[in-house]
Structure 1
């Protein structure tokens, strides 16, 4: 997957679903590949015909990341999450001390946190 400085956004919808966060991504109309929202072209076939979709919000921790500058992370645990839809997103793990969530842990999208610009996930029980 190509890396980008922009990440898919976790958004809290208004109205009755205000407590349910939504993670949006793009799916290519031509080849069906999923990708984050920060892309203008499909990374697989190069098509510009991308449809925005809402993720179910479930995934698996693929890799824990060590930030280069810890003073900027406020102690949050940063990781890569592979979503059930097939795309990967950089995220923050909520209520997790560094090193306490192993790779392969199932996670679910959580409400946005004020201390991070990344989508926030919690380990499933």
Structure 2
């Protein structure tokens, strides 16, 4: 009978790589068996159930898939929350930087920005 090895996985989030001038990094997992990507901290692949997950760094670019309306606006400090589909093939809930609610349409190309102190979500900024 094969044995299953479980390893602890740290939560995946946008974080600076050391210097203030260095670009932020968004980590995700790619399954070594089926090749699917997931932005969630997981022990097993959500598609095939394999434990062969490799942590990788995202390029940090994607498109806005959907704007979300928070249930409790008093907890968002006016930030615009959305779902971003990254080029690697996974979706993350994120905050849009320098965007007024309703000013960034779905389908807008975005890029990972430095983390903001007012949110625990990865922060993205619309590309020019």
**Structure 1 and Structure 2 fold alike (TM over 0.5):** yes
- Tell me how far 1:48 sits from its aligned partner: 1.2
Per the alignment, residue 109 of structure 2 pairs with 106
Q: 2:64 matched to 1:65?
A: no
- Between structure 1 and structure 2, the one with the greater Rg is 2
Q: 2:18 matched to 1:14?
A: yes
- Give the CA RMSD over aligned residues: 1.5
Given candidates 28, 31, 44, the residue that maps to 1:28 is: 31
Helix, strand or coil: the match of 1:71? Answer: helix
Per the alignment, residue 3 of structure 1 pairs with none
Per the alignment, residue 94 of structure 2 pairs with 91
> Residues 59-108 of structure 1: CA distance to partner in whole angstroms, max 9, x if unpaired?
00000000000000000000000000000000000000000000000000
The count of corresponding residues between Structure 1 and Structure 2 is: 119
Distance 1:40 1:18 in 2: 32
Given candidates 42, 53, 58, the residue that maps to 1:55 is: 58
Given candidates 88, 110, 120, the residue that maps to 1:117 is: 120
Q: TM-score, normalised by structure 1?
A: 0.90
- Tell me how far 1:38 sits from its aligned partner: 1.7
Q: TM-score, normalised by structure 2?
A: 0.88
Q: Which runs of 4+ in 1 moved over 3 A?
A: none
